[in-house]
Amino acid sequence: MFNALVVEKDDEGKTSAAVQQISEDQLPEGDVVVAVDYSTVNYKDGLCIGPGGGLVRNYPHVPGIDLAGTVESSSDDRYKAGDKVVLTGWRVGEVHWGGYAQKARVKADWLVPLPDGLDTRQAMAVGTAGFTAMLAVMALEDHGIKDGPVLVTGAAGGVGSVATAILAKLGHEVAAVTGRPETSDYLTGLGATQIVAREELNETTKRPLEAETWGGCVDAVGGDMLARVLGQMKYGASVSAVGLAGGAGLPATVIPFLLRGVNLLGIDSVMQPFENRQRAWQRIASDLPMDKLDAMIEPAVLSDLPKLGKDILKGQVRGRVVVDVN
Ligand code: NDP
């Protein structure tokens, strides 16, 4: 028997999450059993720990969209006992049981060998949020980052914190947008050179184009803020659209695309093919300063998750939570 955070649904459809003992034969089918070291808390985890947000199909459910640990047994030739692995995405923790347990049984196709230079704790400090931040930066690079500051929205959150640290390490000026002025020192510590107050960008404007200001953007917010930012991009610059913390709408015009050749790049972390996953994890190991990553970590254990799930949905988690499941 081992510990897991189990979410149950009652007859009235109300969910509740608590740490329970479960056994290996309760785990879903898969070809690799992983002894989990750490997991983390992403926005989606908040939904899955709570009412499900339409992501969870069956109850009881073990959430946790990310996990890192050591292979215990494998019927797939690519992995053997003792291998260190990381898993993000593939709807693990939503449709399939996830990382909030001391063991997980998963498909070998979903795993990535841990790159040299990262341990399992650091991998979960990165997690889906950081992995997605790296994908967003890689997409900007592929389309060319222009001179001038790169804007990061939702900067004190998980995606934003990692994007800020990576972009600064790569030598870019980073303008960090936050609605929490008290995180300014934290963000400048990660390498931000400018703090932009959320209020400056979350109002709509009738002007489709404003002064050309940003050489690139990693956007975790969407909604009115993304619409506004599109009109402030430099000629030919790109925005990686990652999140919807501020809304799923996009009340924008096509003018920035037509007159300034601005690119809006969609970033998905869930279904990324293996080769790109491996490339992103290797870039994380080389381009994310580990001292900066350490500064983002809020440690937690399984029993903290019901509260943390609520906090992240309210935008109250700073940086990256690392959950020690043992
Ligand atoms: P966090 O909650 O850690 O960060 C989100 C941040 O957005 C908050 O910390 C806050 O930053 C800002 N924010 C929150 N509410 C608002 C608002 N109403 N208006 C403007 N800004 C707001 O979440 P993550 O970083 O883990 O995820 C960010 C987004 O990216 C989420 O929408 C998530 O679903 C999405 N995502 C998408 C992925 C993909 O594959 N495309 C993968 C991972 C995440 P501050 O306090 O600094 O203002």
Specify the pLDDT at position 11: 93
Residue 283 CB neighbour total at 10 angstroms: 19
Which atom of ligand 1 lies closest to the CA of 319?
A: 3
Q: What is the whole-number distance in angstroms between the Cα of residue 285 and the centre of ligand 1?
A: 23
What pLDDT, in 10s, does the model give residues 30-43? 999 999 999 999 98
Select from 3.10.180.10, 3.90.180.10, 3.40.50.970, 3.20.20.140 the CATH code of 2-114+294-324.
Answer: 3.90.180.10
Fold of 128-266: Rossmann fold (3.40.50)
Q: What is the whole-number distance in angstroms between the Cα of residue 90 and the centre of ligand 1?
A: 20
What pLDDT, in 10s, does the model give residues 115-126? 999 999 999 999
Domain positions in the chain: 2-114+294-324, 128-266
CA-closest residue to ligand 1 atom 33: 243
Q: For a pocket test of ligand 1, which of 39, 41, 42 has the largest count of ligand atoms closer than 8 A to its C-beta?
A: 42
Specify the pLDDT at position 323: 98
- Going through the chain in order, the beta strands assigned E by DSSP cover 2-9, 15-22, 32-40, 66-74, 84-88, 103-106, 112-113, 150-152, 174-178, 194-197, 216-219, 238-241, 263-266, 297-301, 320-324
Q: How confident is the model at residue 202 (pLDDT cuts 50, 70, 90)?
A: confident
C-alpha to C-alpha distance for 167 and 151, rounded to whole angstroms: 10
What pLDDT, in 10s, does the model give residues 313-324? 998 898 899 999
What lines the ligand 1 site, CB under 6 Å? 42-44, 128-129, 132, 154-160, 178-180, 183, 198, 202, 220-221, 225, 242-246, 267-270, 312, 315, 317
pTM: predicted TM-score of the whole model, two decimal places: 0.96
What pLDDT, in 10s, does the model give residues 126-178? 999 999 999 999 999 999 999 999 999 999 999 999 999 999 999 999 999 99
